[in-house]
Amino acid sequence: MTARSTILAFAGCAVALVLLKWATSSPPKTYCHVDDPDNDIDITAWQPPDDPRPIPPGSWGSVLTTPAKLEKLRDAGKLPVLESGVPKVIHQTWPSRDTSGVAAHYRKWSASWGACHPDWLHVLWDDCDIRRLFAKHLPDFLPVYDAYPNPVQRADIFRCLVLKEYGGLYADMDYECTGGVDGPTGLNPPQDSPQGACKVFIVNSPDPEHDGVLQNAFMASVPEHPYWTAVFDLAVERRSTLSGRIWGEIPIQNTGPGLVSDAYTMLPEGEVKTAVCGLNNTEFSGQALGQAPNAIHRNAGSWCACRFPAINWACWKKCKEKKKTYVPSMYRDLTRYKRSIDKGEKLSDKDQATWDQYGHLFQSYYDKYGEFEDI
């Protein structure tokens, strides 16, 4: 063996060891605060002064309350519930209850929920609260939770457990309430309609080829629905494979939208699957269009990890450039269609239908964002 080949062999072993350590490492231990039920955070100041929907002072929606208060109200039977069975609770998460570093846009979007639904309990879960949740309600899963190498994976799997245990609505911090989510096309369908059987509501993915059919940034549920058991069974299975820890789009497939989508598609036909319903993403996401009447995903992309660019180049590039401009994914698609049309190429029936419906938006996107460049 030559000196060069020896060096390459040692280098290859070193890289493999680093990857293995990265894939199996546990997060550092955190010394957690006491879960004080009175540690509310006033978010009326988070609301822009020109918002036409001021949050009523003293309402549930005027504060981010604690999991301890949620538990007390639930145990006392004092949580209001929609006709669908979904409790009027909004769950969001942030690393700690010190919210002094929360950016202005996140504050605005979070406060929008109090403006839309002032009679809903708004709960902020931090990292300590989340670990306590697993320790109390799903202790067998705690080793899997602790072993996730990326914080976003723990945030992903948290939302599944909090909806399994308490029910309610989970919304990412970059989700803005624009009109309300408790209407007949949302979380409270007429009970005598076909949608009356819905007990789990998850927004349809704007990019099913990449994420799966469902998008986990906006999900709601009744408590203790068996769908969530299927989600956790699949999460354990995916974490147990070494290849699943290292390669592939780890957060998306192991804990993110790919997980909730696959858990749904793998369910046998029957009552449980029928109760899991997708919400129209043009009404409850708007990620592709940049607008939505009920709730909009602003897609801040804070989950993007620059740690391993070979795995997620697009996220790494976005982080490196600190790109802040939100470009609707619909603009990407319309640009692709427009380029094909300009070349005289025939679109597929599906793409042509999309162009026929939304092509009129291309020029306004171009005027706002300039030339779209793929990354």
Going from N- to C-terminal start, the domains of the chain cover: 58-305, 327-369
Q: In angstroms, rounded to a whole number, what is the distance separating the alpha carbons of residues 304 and 180?
A: 28
Query: What's the pTM value of the predicted model, to 2 decimals?
Result: 0.76
Q: Give Cα 246 distance to the centre of its chain.
A: 22
- For residue 129, give the DSSP letter: H
Which pLDDT value is given to residue 244? Answer: 45
- For residue 313, give the DSSP letter: H
Residues of the chain with pLDDT under 50: 15-31, 242-249, 305-314, 316-326, 374-375
Which pLDDT value is given to residue 151? Answer: 83
Which pLDDT value is given to residue 304? Answer: 55
Which pLDDT value is given to residue 270? Answer: 96
Q: In angstroms, rounded to a whole number, what is the distance separating the alpha carbons of residues 174 and 296?
A: 9
Q: Give Cα 57 distance to the centre of its chain.
A: 29
Q: In angstroms, rounded to a whole number, what is the distance separating the alpha carbons of residues 265 and 249?
A: 19
- pLDDT, tens digit, for every residue of 229-272? 999 999 998 876 544 444 334 678 889 999 999 999 999 999 99
Which pLDDT value is given to residue 24? Answer: 43
Which pLDDT value is given to residue 13? Answer: 55
Which pLDDT value is given to residue 93? Answer: 96
Which pLDDT value is given to residue 201? Answer: 98
Which pLDDT value is given to residue 165? Answer: 98
Which pLDDT value is given to residue 226? Answer: 98
Asked if CATH classification 1.10.20 holds for the domain at 58-305, the reply, yes or no, is no
Which pLDDT value is given to residue 59? Answer: 96
CB 187 within 8 A of CB 82: yes
Backbone φ and ψ for 252, nearest 5 degrees, come out as -65, -45
Which pLDDT value is given to residue 167? Answer: 98
Burial string for 281-305 (b: 16+ CB within 10 Å, else e) reads bbbbbbbbbbebebbbbbbbeebbb
